[in-house]
Amino acid sequence: MPEREPASSHPAEGDPESTTVLPESAGVRATGSVDIQQLELAAQKAQAELQEFRERYMRTVAELDNVRKRAAREVEQAHRFGVEKFAAELLPVLDSLELAIAHADTADAASLAAGQEATLKLLARAFEKFGISPVDPEGEPFDPERHEAMAMRESATAEPDSVVEVVQRGYELNGRLLRPARVIVARGAG
């Protein structure tokens, strides 16, 4: 019998069966179902996280919608009742005027004048409390943004284009013009 050559632990070069190249997925197959189970667990975990994020998103959207609706209601209430405190401050002025009218036929001129002064003080206090201040620009330069010129007058003492007389005071609300002051302006020498 012929002798056999001992089998080499290394495959012979050039032998097509000697080298086997495994595809990348062979590692998964080679290790068995453990990797598939891990992938399934990871997919389930990702699905749970996705569901949690969806729920959070929906809660956030609902919360923002509630905030928007609440803000709209508050703005509507502010528009409807924003002047409530101011109106409450004006009620004593109204009471004083009604009292003056009710007693006009029996009161003398001095007591009517005193009542009018008291009423004016009540009104001025209410205005001051709510940031309404008079614009009284006598002697100041004419400002078309804050003053309305009613006429021009020659003046030997006033600077040209300055206010020499206030016909009607203007008013501001917290620095914002409500009504311009109506004024007479000094005419420049011409």
Residue extents of the structural domains in the chain: 34-81, 131-190
Instruction: Give me the amino acid identity at 161.
Output: D
pLDDT of res. 27: 47
pLDDT of res. 189: 61
Give the Cα separation of 12 and 71 in Å (integer).
Answer: 83
- E strand spans, 41-180: 132-135, 147-154, 163-168, 170-173, 176-179
| CA-angle at 85, arms to 84 and 86, nearest 5° | 90
Superfamily name with CATH number, domain 131-190: Head domain of nucleotide exchange factor GrpE (2.30.22.10)
Chain centroid to CA 77: how far? 16
pLDDT of res. 21: 52
pLDDT of res. 135: 92
Q: Which residues of the chain have pLDDT under 70?
A: 1-34, 189-190
* Cβ atoms of residues 163 and 138 within 8 Å: yes
- E strand spans, 4-93: none
